Amino acid sequence: QGILKDQTIKNLDKFVIKDPNLPVLLRRIKKVAKVFLATNSDYNYTEELKVFFLRFGRDSAALCTRLLQTDSWRSFFDLVVVDTRKPQFFADGTVLRQVDTVRDAPFAEDVRGAAGPSADAFMMQNTGKLRIGTYTGDLQHGTVYSGGGIWASPSLWSQKKRKQPLKTVPAGSADIICDLLDMKGKEILYVGDHIFGDILKSKKRQGWKTFLVVPELTKELQVWEEKKYLFEELKRLDVFIAEQHKHLGSNTINATDISLVQLRMKVLTYRMDMSYGQMGSLLRSGAKQTLFASQLVRYADLYSSSCLNLLNFPSNYLFMAPPVLVS
């Protein structure tokens, strides 16, 4: 909010990582499926970032002319919803309203003047103001919506062939998003980077398939490659302790002394933890999983350091989890 976002917008190259593969991924997905954007950010901040991400620059009149003559960044999405107020978006929601993205036509004509459009003047067309009243009706491509919930008119529900049209939808915005996109539950793969606000809530409240983006996985995998011998030795020591007690019963008085083995395991665990830096591992605490790791395994159908890794798989690829023995 406030100063943080203002400073981010003024220094996008410094604070935001831009990858040319992002528009490639969105285009490929859009060829075979529908794509929607649901963000807690307001329209103006979203506009700034998406223009930056999707390579619609502002540094020349030529680029602005291109944007006037073709679709904007919104063409990458079938539906855009800002100010969603997640996780409320998946539950009760608020009211859906259209965002005014373009000023009146006379202003647009001035921008298209013979001298060519000015970058600053062109971008002033995007007001980000909310239109009066709530939105009801079918999905309109290129339209941006705001709010964490939707008031649904009887006509909208009757178009969906509901037996008894409803005036309100207490289940929240995500339900109407499914209706607008003509999708439901497991047909949607939702990509997010917040384990609670994105993944857990969308899974429990909507039953969506989930993809959790965990940038820290890059560091986790790096440490694993460099220090996996520590993990392997720790595993061998654990097996050794099990072997020492394998033939002992509950009536055994003099148990095998494993104090030296336990000391070695403590040293290995400490070295493992220090390999991740002061904050330690995101996924493991010693030999055990962290709470985050357990939630990740439970609620995320897919997880990766970046959603751009989907470019390495065909669109119809079936991801299957490997079989895991109960320990």
Residue 87 and residue 135 in one domain: yes
Same domain flag for 169 and 292: no
Highest mean pLDDT among 141-150, 287-296, 300-309, 317-326: 300-309
Examine the fold and report which residue of 136, 160, 183 is the final residue of a domain before the chain moves on: 183
Per the structure, the count of domains in the chain is: 2
How confident is the model over 114-134, as a mean pLDDT?
49
Q: Are both 225 and 155 inside the same structural domain?
A: no
Closest CA to 90 of 98, 81, 78: 81
Whether residues 162 and 304 share a domain: the answer is no
> Quick one: pLDDT band at residue 308, thresholds 50, 70, 90?
very high
Instruction: State whether 178 and 227 are in the same domain.
Output: no
Q: Is residue 190 part of a domain?
A: no
Query: Burial, 93: exposed, middle or buried (Cβ in 10 Å; 0-12, 13-18, 19+)?
Result: buried
pLDDT tens digit sequence for 181-204: 888 888 999 999 999 989 998 998
What's the one-letter identity of residue 207? Answer: G
Domain hosting residue 26, numbered range: 3-183
Among 153-157, 235-239, 258-262, 312-316, where is mean pLDDT lowest?
153-157
DSSP class of 212: E
Nearest to 210 by CA among 301, 84, 323: 301
CATH classification of the domain holding 30: 3.40.50
Q: Are residues 19 and 113 in the same domain?
A: yes
Residues 175 and 124 in one domain: yes
The whole model's pTM is what? 0.73
Judge whether residue 58 has pLDDT over 70.
no
Domain shared by 45 and 133, yes or no: yes
Same domain, 178 and 223: no
Decide if 81 contacts 149 (C-beta within 8 A): no
What local confidence, expressed as pLDDT, does residue 193 receive? 94
- Helices then strands, counting H and E runs in the chain, come out as 13, 10
Is residue 160 included in any domain, yes or no?
yes
Q: Which residue has the tokens 């009066």?
A: 132
pLDDT tens readout for residues 77-107? 888 888 888 888 887 765 677 777 764 433 3
Answer whether residue 152 shows pLDDT above 80.
no
**Short-list 21, 27, 36, CA closest to 189:** 36
Asked whether the beta carbons of 303 and 191 are under 8 A apart, the reply is no
Q: Which residue would you say has higher pLDDT here, 16 or 55?
A: 16
Instruction: Give ∠ CA 206-210-213 in degrees, rounded to 5.
Output: 140
Q: Are residues 126 and 240 in the same domain?
A: no
| Shared domain check, 147 and 224 | no
What single-letter amino acid sits at 144?
A: V
